[in-house]
């Protein structure tokens, strides 16, 4: 595989051995972006001059005998992270000229680890879509089929990695925004345990970059191999030095097992609120078969699983109640009027989304209390199992859909249309209780599109699903470059 598709681990070894310089790697990555990104549109804010300077600096540092985890390795960063001297817009036209003065804490950690930042990757407006397009930077296409989405909201990062634009990227995840693009583009991503990695400086403009821990939302790594995910997570993980970091240092426990045959795995391929498409079901079954073949204990059902319908409802309530916090008063009042007009018998997810947007604080506290009961249920489940394998979304990457009203969009699942946002229920399985989840490639659809699954692990035991991902990669294969 050509150098642009080598893993970060392989590039680090070549740099240490003196087989290549960071300047050479960076020039090759830039040349590939300039050649291929016109068709993909993954890199929305290039920073090539500073990248070349950083690469030369990395080579000088290595000549002095320095060796850091990512020293000299070209990477990209999701547009939503602040980088001093580059715009941070979140794809929102009124903020197209917003220029932060400081790096986000995760960008600072990348640079401290020696990474060379090539530029920023594209996002949907406000990071609030399962696709990636906005009026400032346009649409990011799926490298496997340019007529289809790369996913969202970290779709630019996933497309960049699948296209060989840098070895690593950092993204974020609130509603599958790391996992869905990984699934759609055939790469790896890890949604860390809630609170594991500091997020200061990953905030919508022009809000101040405060060390706030947002509910449900996390920042995390994206890569082309499971081992590279672990390498990057070790750089990203840890509390904000301005808050918990004053008192605490992070020590993640090791993976529960080192061999596939020792894992106890629950496999889920059905959800009561939305069907699973045949291509995704086949991917889940491929992983399940590999686990069985390796001697792992695999179960399809358990009474320990917290009720998935209630879990999806809770996730929807928590997710959408926070989405309207900055809405104008007039828009909020309109939502209240629409919610009041709903029939009491309407318990659809569409109705739940609307009711959640006008939650009172009392409503939110009640939902949060029920979340804690679900978290306790997951603790009991993970006393009997080490990981859960399940879909990320019901389908592979779908065709671009730019209908400005998402309520009118429909997701085609094996020929039947479903409300667009209903596909988020699978992302919520891990997000609502704050569990770690690793997205891994699991084959191809009949049309040749990537299909991924997520491996969900116990809270703050992120190394367990990451290790399982690494072992599955050895068993069934992993990333393949688009053909």
Nearest to 14 by CA among 156, 118, 167: 167
| Candidates 22, 78, 199, 356; catalytic one | 78
Residues 6+ apart with CB under 8 A from 107: 77, 81, 82, 83, 117, 201
Q: How far is CA 201 from CA 19, 105, 179, 344, in A?
A: 36, 6, 21, 41
Instruction: Report the DSSP pairing between strands 450-456 and 168-173.
Output: unpaired
Residue in this structure with the two tokens 């642009």, named with its chain if needed = 4
Q: Is 254 exposed, middle or buried (0-12, 13-18, 19+ CB in 10 A)?
A: exposed
Annotated active-site residue 157? The verdict is no
CA distance 231 to 236: 9
| Candidates 153, 154, 163, 321; catalytic one | 153
| Candidates 157, 169, 177, 322; catalytic one | 177
| Helices 308-322 + 349-356 axis angle, to 10 | 40
CA distance 449 to 35: 23
Annotated active-site residue 78? The verdict is yes
**Which regions of 164-235 does DSSP assign to beta strands (E)?**
168-173, 188-191, 218-223
Torsion angle of the four alpha carbons 177, 183, 184, 186, in this order, in degrees rounded to the nearest 10: 130
Q: How far is CA 280 from CA 94, 118, 370, 393, 397, in A?
A: 38, 33, 30, 8, 11
Annotated active-site residue 153? The verdict is yes
Catalytic residue numbers read 78, 153, 177
């Amino acid at each position: 595989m050509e150098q642009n598709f080598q893993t970060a681990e392989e590039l680090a070894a070549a740099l240490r051995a003196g087989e290549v310089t960071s300047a050479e790697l960076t020039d090759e990555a830039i040349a590939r972006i300039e050649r291929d990104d016109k068709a993909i549109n993954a890199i929305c804010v290039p920073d090539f001059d500073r990248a070349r300077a950083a690469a030369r600096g990395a080579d000088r540092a290595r000549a002095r005998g320095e060796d850091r985890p990512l020293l000299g390795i070209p990477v990209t960063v999701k547009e939503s992270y602040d980088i001093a001297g580059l715009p941070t817009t979140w794809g929102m036209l009124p903020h197209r000229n917003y220029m932060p003065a400081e790096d986000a804490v995760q960008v600072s950690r990348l640079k401290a680890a020696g990474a060379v930042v090539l530029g920023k990757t594209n996002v949907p407006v406000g990071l609030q879509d399962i696709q990636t397009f906005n009026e400032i930077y346009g649409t990011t296409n799926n490298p496997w089929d340019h007529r289809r989405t790369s996913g969202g909201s970290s779709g630019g990062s996933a497309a960049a990695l699948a296209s060989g634009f840098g070895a690593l990227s950092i993204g974020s995840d609130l509603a599958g925004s790391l996992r869905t693009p990984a699934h759609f583009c055939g790469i790896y991503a890890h949604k860390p345990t809630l609170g594991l990695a500091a997020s200061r400086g990953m905030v919508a403009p022009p809000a101040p970059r405060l060390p706030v821990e947002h509910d449900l939302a996390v920042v995390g790594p994206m890569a082309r191999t499971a081992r590279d995910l672990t390498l990057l997570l070790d750089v990203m993980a840890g509390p904000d030095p301005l808050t918990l970091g004053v008192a605490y240092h992070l020590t993640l426990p090791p993976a529960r097992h080192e061999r596939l045959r020792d894992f106890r795995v629950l496999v889920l391929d059905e959800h009561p609120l939305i069907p699973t498409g045949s291509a995704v079901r086949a991917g889940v079954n491929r992983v399940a078969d590999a686990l069985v073949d390796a001697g792992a204990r695999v179960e399809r059902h358990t009474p320990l699983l917290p009720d998935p319908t209630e879990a999806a409802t809770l996730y929807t309530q928590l997710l959408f109640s926070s989405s309207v916090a900055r809405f104008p008063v007039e828009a909020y009042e309109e939502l209240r009027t629409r919610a009041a007009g709903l029939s009491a018998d309407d318990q659809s997810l569409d109705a739940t989304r609307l009711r959640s947007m006008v939650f009172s604080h009392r409503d939110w506290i009640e939902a949060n209390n029920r979340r804690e009961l679900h978290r306790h249920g997951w603790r009991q489940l993970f006393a009997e199992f080490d990981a859960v394998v399940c879909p990320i979304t019901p389908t592979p990457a779908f065709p671009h859909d730019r209908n400005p009203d998402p309520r009118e969009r429909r997701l085609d699942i094996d020929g039947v249309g479903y409300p667009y946002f209903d596909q988020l229920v699978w992302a919520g399985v891990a997000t609502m209780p704050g569990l770690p989840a690793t997205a891994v490639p699991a084959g191809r659809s009949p049309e040749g599109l990537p299909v991924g699954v997520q491996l969900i692990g116990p809270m703050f035991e992120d190394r367990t699903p990451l290790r399982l991902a690494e072992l599955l990669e050895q068993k069934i294969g992993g990333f393949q470059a688009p053909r």
